[in-house]
Chain A
Amino acid sequence: MKNSYFPGCNLKTEAKGFEQSAIAVSKELDAELVEMPEWNCCGTVQTMTTDNLMRRIAPVRVLSRASKHVKELEGSPNQVTTLCSMCNSTLKIVNAEVKENPNDLEKINFQLENDDLVYEGDMEVKHFLEILRDNVGYENIAKKVTNPLEGMKIASYYGCMLLHPEKAKIDDEEMPTVMESIALSLGAEVVDWPYFKQCCGSYHIVDRDDIVNSQVVKIIRNAKKTGANALIVACPLCAYNLDNQQVELEKLGVEKDPIPIFYFTQLMAIAMGLPQKVNHFEDHHINPKTLLKELGLLGKKK
């Protein structure tokens, strides 16, 4: 099966390892992610105002471009797949909003009309995690594992955008299991921890890094307390905040012994013995190779 894939800006810049490992994994699992030929910023973070249609143009434009793309893909359902959880949430929310309010959709379509685009309200938005759970299945992931992640104790960090709000959630908002199930099928251990969706501070990193730091300390300390030696995430902004700010906190003398942050697809690539280069570990601030070497998980091929 082929999936129309919307990357979002960060997957091309800071989170190359997320995108490339996900594409490699998707090919292994026969759920290939095929990038849309033309796409624009999803318009994150979604506006919660009732009247600001301007900020809903970008996501609707993405949806209309995706609906063009799925027609070119053979056997693809009317859906667009995302990796970044902020893109996922923005697109899902706006998709639901315009389906509920045909008048708004008409106004936005009027803005797209000059660009030969129109959105009929016929698309669904899926996160890659949903594809893995619903279309691929955990047992099929487990079948592809050649290099089980023995010794990894993983804390699954969902962040807020995968589970909030009702319109956009991919799993139960107080008791999600999808990331844990994937980690288990890769042969890793998972920890049960309460901070799985504690907000990382999000865009405050730009001008209020104190807010982000106070969150990162709470999250990381709790993860360590439960014995986790790694965190998995599905959002480039969570990844940056948790990764980079741990280094900053160490410099400030607040918290020692940082633990590595992985995108869930990177661990899948390792467990499936895919080539190392898709993971782009050089972009990480805390070197994940140290842990992988310690556990003897590095460099094994399928």
Chain B
Amino acid sequence: MTLLLVGPAPARSSEKGVDVVTLSARRRLRRPSLREAGTALLFVLPCLLLFVAFRFGPAVAGVLLGFTDYTIGGDASWVGLDNFRRLIDDPTFWSALKVTVIFALLSVPLSMVASLGMALLTRRVFRGVKLFRSIFFLPVVTSLILAGVVFTWVFAEHGPWSRLMGAFGLPAQSWLADSTLVLPAIVLVSVWSRFGYGMLILLARLQEIPAELEEAALSDGASAWQRFRYVTLPQLRPALFFLAIIETTMSFQVFDIVYVMTGGGPVRASYTLVYQLYEQGFRYFDLGYASAVGLALFVMTVIVALIQRLTLGREE
């Protein structure tokens, strides 16, 4: 699960929350009540136990496993950097990395542009706007497995998509059967399933932009593009930054669609890092190596998030 916090509401209550907590803490500083601490601990205990067993433990173990040759039902021994050496020599890993990065480079901008476009189009209130918003959000609540099953047929050899392409004079073929077009096809499914989410995030932010700002720009004679470029866009910047981070993280973890639509093929053209992790871990049960793939994915996510922070988030 990717866990991210969004939107103005939690952020605001966070400031307030910290204040309240410090205040109440100060007030009670002199009389630490044993009984209170006891009950509080009991309240936290179930959560804590679960976290120790299924979050903290695995997080540490996940790192350690990458340095072992653990296979299921077998003994594990410490193999040092062997898994990582193997990773570097493994052409499948590099191809999976490449596929994952290309997927992200295609899907993140596309999905953000679609989100922004739909947010701007449904920004104002007019008859039917609620219906449109509901429609655009529907794919977000739909399982990617269902989407994958259906889109397999949308992209079939003589399916609607190849007909559409044929109508535009492009070769009418199954995109899923072609090693160059399979990734764009998967990107389209991903964008279809994600843009409604980005749209809502941006809509929430758009509704907070003070009307006066745009009115002022309007009375200065700014064109629609200028108003968007110099008023709306800067206001949206934090939301867009946030969206970029989420979309990137998500796109690095693409798995469900690949599993259903292509199985990583053709010729590993849609074989992503998480798919490799799955196959190594749960088809060949080479869990040590799979953990090494997971760590590589983690490192990659962190590096990209830092780069995004330094470039996109610079002016915050």
| A and B interact physically | no
Interface set of A (CB-CB < 8 Å, partner B): none
